[in-house]
Structure 1
Amino acid sequence: MTYIIVTKLRYLFALLILIASHFSRAAQITDSLNHALKSYTSKDSVRVDMLNELSYSYWIMDPAKAEILSKEALEIATNQSYLKGMAMANRSIGVASWAQGNYEEGLNVLLTALSQYQLLKDTLNIANVKLNTGLIYSEQNSFAEALLYYQDALKTFRYLNKPERSVNTLNHIGVLYQRQGNTELAKSTYNEALEVSRLQNYAYGKSTALSNLSNLFQRSGKLDSAIVYAREALQIQEESNDLNGEAFSLYNLGIIYQKLENYELTHEYLQRALKEAEVISSKKLKRDCYWQLKQTAKMRGNYQEALQYAEQYNIVNDSLFNAEKLREFVRLENRFSLEKNAQELKLKDQEVDILQKAAVIDRLWRNSAILVIVAILLISYFIYSRQRINLKRKQELFSKNEEIYRTNAALTEAELENARWKEIELNQKIEFKNKELTSYALNFVQKNEVLEEIKSSIGELKKSPNGVTAKELNSLNKLVSSSMHIDKDWQDFKRQFEEVHTNFFTNLKTQFPTLSSNELKLCALLKLNMNLKEASTVMGISPESVKTARYRLRKKLGLGRSDNLVEHIISLEIKMNE
């Protein structure tokens, strides 16, 4: 029985210690805030902020009054559409509800505050509300939900570089692990909180972590370590005037010495804890101190003293029992009222929904009938208008097409006539150029033939003995030979040929890249329809060589035996020009 009571008391004081700094600060500013609030009567955002600040100072001292103040702040903030004030008021109502044991209402209001802070993008207060929500879930033994909210809050506090808030959250998480029986995780979390507190010189966080570690060691039977940590925590709490923390540490030391059967020190520390409980008005601590003092007196054999403590315990316990019952009754009444209101609102919503649906259906039928009539009229008018417009357009289009047809017919006839004259003129020019080319090529042939005859005559003269020396005849023969093979005549011929047959050689070479220069010459001569002898004279080779060249050319052009070489070259030019 004693162990169960001690365990429950540890959990309770773990929560009280974590909010001790808040209690100390609230006691100092409450009077000044009350005075300022009385002198400021305007119902605006300034009064909302003052009410919220005053409510914050009453969170633990008087949660019922804190709730009243926050509800007034919420009403004014709602009328003023002051979202920041609404969010803080809802958070205060949620914490006050938690402190009074109204967990369901507290959760609902805190979730509303959370959504409002999310709209404000107030990252710090989002984390604060999550921490408060985690406390309620922890009280309801919903450890998974509590841990989730704690961890989210811790992540934000670390991101915002808020070490003190991080330490407080770590202590809450450690208490949660301890309540679940996970001693190792609880110990590592408390040690992390202690380390950060020492780095930041954060007295409250340090004393809280030390108290939690002392409690942990006490439960695991490591009483010497528990005493060391509890005394260090007590020293810090006395220096920082942390009355709640000091009361818990004194009570914890009393329990430790009771386990060590050192009843004198047990009695001393429990009596000191009882005095602190009177100062901070903690009935729960007074009740538990009386119970442990009764147990200690009983262990010492002082039954008269034990009876006195038992009577004091019963008085305080009955007072707490009645308060808790009243709180439970209020909580149940609130839940019933909320559920009843929710049911009534649901029924009213259903009735309104039915009436709205009926009105919507009636309105839809009426509007649909009107729309159908209007649509029929509009469609009829549209069809009539379109028919008139289409008829008019068809008439205009017919007139335009008729005019365009007459104009195009006249233009076409003039263009055709013009094209015929241009074609006749072009053909005449091509024919004249071809005649020039043929004449030039024939002159070329005649010149080479004359030179050939002169060459033959020189050969005859060389054979006859007369005054002309063989040396002079040889010189003249070389001159004739060089005149027969000079390239200038060919270049002149090529230039004039391409004036008539543009890009003939380029296109031919592109299509058949393996053609040699002599084969290109032969293609040009064949294009002019020259015979073997004429081609051989122009090219300066024998007719047999021309035949051989024609044979090779046919192979490179991919012609068969039945294909006409001249016709093929002419057709190639036509294709290349298309």
Structure 2
Amino acid sequence: MWKKNHVKSLELLTEARTLAEKNRWHKQMFLAQNNIGCNYYMMLDYGEALKQYLESYKIAIKYLDTAHEMTVLNNIAILYSKEKKFRKANDYFLKAYRIAKKNNDSIKIGLYSLNLGSLANEENRLQEARNYLDQSLRYTQHPQVSIPAQITLCVNDLLLGHPQKARLSAEKLFYNLKNEENNDNRLLLSSIIAKTYLKENNLVSALQWTNNTLSEKPDLENKRELFGLLADIYFRLKTYNLAFQYKDSINAADNKLNVIKNGKLFESSEVKFQIQNYKKEISEKESKIKNERKIFYSILASIIFGIIILLVVFRNHLIKNKQSRLIAQRDKEIIEFKLQKETACNSLLIEKEKTALLEQERLKKEIELRNQKISSKSLYLSGRNQLLEEILKSLSKAPELSENRVLINDVKALKAHLKIDDDWDDFIRHFEEVNQGFIKNLTAKHPQLTTTDIRYISYVYMNLNTKEIATMLNITLEACRKRKERIEKRMNLPDHLSLSSYISIV
């Protein structure tokens, strides 16, 4: 079943890579190639896996960005570490790590720092390992990186000769991961705790933790390590028969691992053979497809040639018909041209009429504007005359007037020239002509308004501001505002409605 799955997977990946290569989909080509390498890695065929990874590395370098490059560099480094080629593994991990630093990719920096730290532990470069592991935890707290980093730190403490510190950290992490579905981390921690007790020569606790770890059913490689621990513990306890039994168990585990590895390598060779046959089948299919395409294109060319001949015959027939239609078309175009000419003349007449109407409208507006100016001027003269009348009334009441004959004559002369009623009547007439009976409608709705009120409202209606109205009436701004308030009160206007808003709808 395992073999069938890998064969099927590799067939699909090979097909995907071929399709991506044809269409120059470089990213898909890289992913397929990298996944092929991962499949061979799982089959323990590290040589073939390395070959596939190197192919994907070439694609990444040539077509893709550095993010893809560092991914495959990390995969190559893992392969070398599995083969115990630590120097090469360290070189490739460092290349991936430097690219991650350059890209400021915190998760990848944390992951590659962890890998470098684990490798340094294996080579007994303990202080360097610790520096990398501390850096890993500084850059990311992602559980998939931070938990392995903490476990590796426990290993580092143990190797540095601090078993108690390693155990305390491992126990804390072990109990924090109690509900974790992934049991691998807890197995590692349990094994580390057993080793710390063994380091302190606490053989009872070491035996208990080792047996507990063994009861969790670890994989064969972890079992082999646990058998080694048990053999060491029983030798120290001088229980030599059990110690030798576990030594035999180590040999049995090694033999079993070799059988599994050889079996997987054999299956890998068989898979490669089947993939080779699959590639051959694909090549034969492509060749067959090419031949079929040639036949198809030959048939298609014959059909096209026949169609061209038919088109030439139809073309000659169409040319004759076209000549007849051209004559008829020309006659039709002449008639249409005459109709268009008549339509254009009519359109021109309509345009002239519109222009005349617009001109009339412009003249009408100009007349209205002039009337407004006349009304404004008349209103100003009326206001001025009323102001003079009020001044003359005030002077007439002065006791000094009767003694000054010259002043009396001047007052009489001014009174003779004042025509307040005539000016106001002229203003009313012009204003009503321009504003379509506004004053008539206003006095009909509000008969309580005085002449002075109507004059003020007329200024407001002509959009004069308070300052301009005060100047026209020769009163202060404050007096002008108060007059407006009195008028609004006299007209019983509601608070939310201003005088200007109200008279715009009268």
TM-score range, shorter chain: 0.3 to 0.5
Q: Could you tell me the TM-score, scaled by structure 2's length?
A: 0.47
Of the two, which has the highest radius of gyration? 1
